[in-house]
Amino acid sequence: MTLIGMLDSPFVRRVAIAMDLCGLQFERLDWSVGRDFARIREFSPLGRVPALVLDGGEVLVESSAILDYIDERVGTQQALMPAQGAERRDALGVIALAVGAAEKGREQIYENAFRPAEKRHEPWIERCRSQMHGALGELDRRCALRGDSPWLVAARMTHADIAVAVITTFLADSPVVALDTGAYPALRAFVARCEALPAFRATHVPWFAPQA
Ligand SMILES: N[C@@H](CCC(=O)N[C@@H](CS)C(=O)NCC(=O)O)C(=O)O
């Protein structure tokens, strides 16, 4: 299998970490959504990463759809998404908050990368920033509520934990967003614990600014 996309994207990184944790072998093409836009579109017409090319040539896009495929492929024992009930609802809720925060961060970054300075609209950027902080505040509250439990929704790591960790790191690493995690102490401590794990360390790369 071939994963397309750079690891500074939290959407690519969450897939790479899950595949590693599930013991799936894959190659990765380090293609940038700026520089390599045309060749990314040959696999992903929307021009987005991640895209996962399966061995038979089928292409999956959208990180949650790719993760759903991975869970199905490895089976319920190894799947990183709770199968049902309150844990599954919690995981989906936490992932929605984290992905929403990432998207609002991404808007701020793209306003900077893809728009000339005179065309940037500060009220829109401020709206994104405040939505992002709304989601992060709720994630911080949820991290605090979990107390001594190492994971956010279950007794073991799930896609929710991976999403929260990689997305917070992405927002903190980006010089445009420059998230100060000091405002979110429980979230910060949770992310630090995750980022110390081998699968996270192996996929943490320096920030790469997309070029239009
Ligand atoms: N909802 C998508 C979001 C993916 C996404 O936004 N990827 C960014 C890189 S971080 C991208 O491809 N951006 C290029 C663009 O949207 O033009 C997913 O979860 O896969």
The stretches in the chain having pLDDT less than 70 are: 212
Q: Which of residues 74, 103, 137 is at a domain's end?
A: 74
Are residues 204 and 172 in contact, defined by beta-carbon separation less than 8 angstroms? no
Q: Is the CB of 33 under 6 A from ligand 1?
A: yes
Does residue 106 lie in a domain region?
Answer: yes
Give the number of the atom of ligand 1 that is nearest the alpha carbon of residue 103. Answer: 6
Same domain, residue pair 148 and 189: yes
* Structure-token pair, residue 36: 């390599």
Is the minimum distance from the CB of 9 to ligand 1 under 6 angstroms?
Answer: yes
| Amino acid 210: pLDDT | 72
Q: Which domain holds residue 28?
A: 2-74
Contacts of 208 (CB under 8 A, 6+ apart): 6, 8, 32
Which domain CATH number covers 55? 3.40.30.10
Last residue of a domain, one of 50, 74, 98: 74
For residue 168 the two structure tokens come to 């917070």
pLDDT at 212: 65
Same domain, yes or no: 90 and 31: no
User: The tokens of 61 are what?
Assistant: 């896009």
User: What is the 63 CA–ligand 1 centroid distance (Å)?
Assistant: 9
Half-sphere exposure of 42 (CA within 13 A, CB side): 6
54 with 122, same domain: the answer is no
Of 61, 16, 55, 19, the residue nearest 41 (C-alpha)? 61
Residue 10 CA to ligand 1 centre (angstroms): 9
* Residues 62 and 32 both lie in one domain: yes
Domain containing residue 158: CATH number = 1.20.1050.10
